[in-house]
Structure 1
Amino acid sequence: MAKLKAQTLPLKRSGLIPNNEALPVLVYDGVFAGQTEEIERTFQRHQWSNSWTGGVLSYHHYHSNTHEVLGVKSGKADILIGGEEGQKLTIRAGDVLVLPAGTGHKNEAASEDFQVIGAYPNGSSFNMRKSSPEDYKQAEQEIPAVPLPKTDPVYGDSGPLLEVWYS
């Protein structure tokens, strides 16, 4: 795995999607290119677990009680990050996204073989929030209480997450 800098995407609130103004989304382009079988093992080795394999939902949703990492196992997709006024990203096999608590995400289009592996710091359980006034009100209280991860899901004790989120 090549050591790459992550692209940072700062987001502001978008309608009823809170996003996380304190922490940017991190995009690791091609960090697992040609080695996608290593994604889940790497996440687990760095204490990002409670993993699952599947797609990204086709409606805006977010998790207000934990951060999330998504590693693209196969295929490609256009993912809208941050709500309707957010940023569209095309992600491909080998890419990794780290979504801070509160970050809206939605699958806009994907290849038939598109799959991600999702995981959470220290195996935390995740909630499912949608674009609603009730969920937004709860999220405003929950997001600031989510602790920073102690490790980067890709690089462990070093890496972009620790450099950017702790600065």
Structure 2
Amino acid sequence: MTNTKRRRMSAALAAGALLPVAPAAVSRPAGDPPGETASVHPVQPETLSFEPNGWIPNNPRLPVLVYRSAVQLSGSDPAALFEHAFARNGWPPVWRNGIYDFHHFHPATHEVLGFAGGRARLVLGGPAPIGREVTVNAGDVVVLPAGTGHCKLEASADFLVVGAYPPDEDIGISRVGLSAAQWQAMQQVVFPASDPLSGREGPLARLWRAA
């Protein structure tokens, strides 16, 4: 994690805008973990689009991307495989944990979630009827554009997630609606330079630029 991101996280924590996630920052070497290489499958992601849902803005322009069985899990530390793949493709990993069991969103950054263990039922897009229930399993990856509501309904005891973000973005979460100025700022969130699994030639750029 960069010093800039640490400062932003500290300020958000002090203001009560960011709920802490533990364990906190993750630091990994540039190469693959010893004896463990991330095997990424070139899958075409599912796309899910959500309109605003009450206080949850979602992102009417950019779709959620769901990559099924995208990472082949192996070795003693499957989470490290996601961390390396994300870091290699310009999405530095920030945390390992689960997912909050209440609706929330990130107004100032896109987010990628790598599911390193177990399974869970999530709700994306906020409450029904706009929101949608999605089941995720170990090896899946989900990219959430800024503003997308998400929460956990239930999860297995071994559920483990790796969270990563484009560099130097404010990763604070929100549980209240956005002002007009905040909505405009959300629309200007920096476009990711690459797909978190397959880099600049991956499907994210094609699918999001076409949106």
TM-score bracket, shorter-length normalisation: over 0.9
- Larger-Rg structure: 2
For residues 102-142 of structure 1, the C-alpha deviation after alignment (integer angstroms, 9 at most, x for no partner) is 00000000001101000001242311101x2xx42264132
1:9 lines up with 2:30 in the alignment: no
Q: How does 1:45-56 map to 2 (within 5 A)?
A: 45-56=88-99
Change (3 A) 1:82 1:61: same
Q: State the TM-score, normalized to the length of structure 1.
A: 0.93
2:89 and 2:137 mapped to 1: Cα distance? Answer: 22
SS at match of 2:47: strand
Q: What is the CA distance between 1:65 and its match in structure 2?
A: 0.4
Match of residue 151, structure 1, among 189, 194, 204: 194
Would you say how many aligned residue pairs link Structure 1 and Structure 2? 164
Q: What is the CA distance between 1:18 and its match in structure 2?
A: 0.3
Q: How does 1:1-167 map to 2 (within 5 A)?
A: 1-35=40-74, 36=78, 37-85=80-128, 86-130=131-175, 132=176, 135-137=177-179, 139-167=182-210
Letter of the aligned partner of 2:105 in structure 1? Y
Letter of the aligned partner of 2:137 in structure 1? R
1:158 and 1:65 mapped to 2: Cα distance? Answer: 24
Q: State the TM-score, normalized to the length of structure 2.
A: 0.74
SS at match of 1:109: strand
For residues 36-92 of structure 1, the C-alpha deviation after alignment (integer angstroms, 9 at most, x for no partner) is 441110100111015200000000000010000000010110010000020111001
Partners of 1:48 and 1:123 within 8 A in 2: no
Partners of 1:50 and 1:123 within 8 A in 2: no
Letter of the aligned partner of 1:12 in structure 2? E
Partners of 1:78 and 1:89 within 8 A in 2: yes
Partners of 1:56 and 1:106 within 8 A in 2: yes
Identity between Structure 1 and Structure 2 (%): 40
Partners of 2:67 and 2:140 within 8 A in 1: yes
More deviation in 157-166 or 137-146? 137-146
Structure 1 runs, 4 residues or longer, greater than 6 Å off: none
More deviation in 72-81 or 139-148? 139-148
Q: Which runs of 5+ in 2 are unaligned?
A: 1-39
Q: What is the CA distance between 1:163 and its match in structure 2?
A: 1.1
Q: What is the CA distance between 1:24 and its match in structure 2?
A: 0.2
- Higher percent of residues as strand: 1
CA RMSD of aligned residues (A): 1.3
2:127 and 2:149 mapped to 1: Cα distance? Answer: 9
Partners of 1:50 and 1:124 within 8 A in 2: no
Letter of the aligned partner of 1:105 in structure 2? H
Q: Which runs of 5+ in 1 are unaligned?
A: none
SS at match of 2:165: strand
